[in-house]
Amino acid sequence: MIRQLCFVATLASAVAIAAPALAQDATPDWKVSVTPYLWAAAYDNDVSNSANGQTSESSASFFDILDGLSFAFMGKAEVQYSRVGVVTDLVYMKLKTDRTTTRPILGPIETEATVANTVVTALGFFRVADSDDLSVDLLGGVRYVKLKLDFDVQGPGSGFSRDGSADITKATVGVRATKRLGAKTSLTGYGDFGGFGDDVKVWQLEGTLNYQWRPTITAFAGYRHFAVEIDKGPVSSDVSFSGPIFGTTFRF
């Protein structure tokens, strides 16, 4: 967690120093964009209990997740006027797995599990640096994370179901910078963090290479890492989703 805080603080300090030299008058026009994307993320979860020294790990590749995926939506929307704006990001994934275990004499047991994961981020931003080669935004807002689990087991003469959900809402701050490399190419780096002084922390890092096909259409490819760190008493859990990200931004 300390390295994430250092990342945000260092980048924010650099922005504050560079802003007066880089800033130019932004065109006072409305800018609207939508960005559908695919995030081919793998899943990792490490749980440890300092009281008894026990640890456990679980993971799933993107193809494991894809095999059980029943529905998904990923996209961003952004509205900007002059140097201020709002960006929203939604990730929703619903996974479903079915398994039948055949037991001698007792017969088969059918297990069905459904997991729904929702992440909604809404951030306002102010463009502190804006030149032909570089733009830098400082962001602040909230992130909402919800995990819902439905578990159903059916067997000869018996069965049970369990439903559970947990949600997290965190104030979030971040930094976004785009550096132009050529007439049509650029690099974008992004980082955010939520959960200062709390036992649950949510943070994210993302980097993309962008190519502007047309003045209103930009394709990008890169990598995103999203993490939830929970530290409650002796039990701690680090949940992360990491993988390549691809998408296209349409501007209006």
Residue appearing with tokens 């006027």: 81
Around Cβ 211, how many Cβ atoms within 10 Å? 15
Residue appearing with tokens 């962008």: 210
Q: Is residue 212 part of a domain?
A: yes
Q: Does pLDDT of 220 surpass 80?
A: yes
Structure tokens at 202: 């949510």
Domain count, the chain: 1
Domain holding 135: CATH number?
2.40.128
pLDDT tens across 6-61, in order? Answer: 444 444 444 333 434 333 444 558 999 999 999 998 878 777 766 666 666 667 77
Q: Is residue 221 part of a domain?
A: yes
Around Cβ 56, how many Cβ atoms within 10 Å? 10
Range 41-46 contact pairs with CB under 8 angstroms and sequence separation of 24 or more: 41/65, 41/224, 41/226, 41/241, 41/242, 41/243, 42/241, 42/242, 42/243, 43/239, 43/240, 43/241, 44/238, 44/239, 44/240, 44/242, 45/237, 45/238, 45/239, 45/240, 46/237, 46/238
Parent domain of 36 = 2-247
Q: Is residue 81 part of a domain?
A: yes
> pLDDT averaged over the chain?
80
Which range among 84-88, 200-204, 245-249 shows the weakest confidence by mean pLDDT?
200-204
- Closest by CA to 190, choosing from 4, 24, 2, is 4
pLDDT tens across 190-199, in order? Answer: 999 998 877 8
Cβ–Cβ under 8 Å, residues 162 and 151: yes
Pairing mode, strands 30-39 and 134-155: unpaired
- Tell me the DSSP string of 162-200: EEEEEEEEEEEEEEEEEEE-SSSEEEEEEEEEE-TTSSE
Q: Does pLDDT of 107 surpass 70?
A: no
Confidence category of residue 104, pLDDT binned at 50, 70, 90: low
Q: Is residue 224 part of a domain?
A: yes
Q: Is residue 139 part of a domain?
A: yes
Structure tokens at 180: 């132009």
Q: Is residue 252 part of a domain?
A: no
Q: Does pLDDT of 167 surpass 80?
A: yes
Q: Does pLDDT of 232 surpass 70?
A: yes
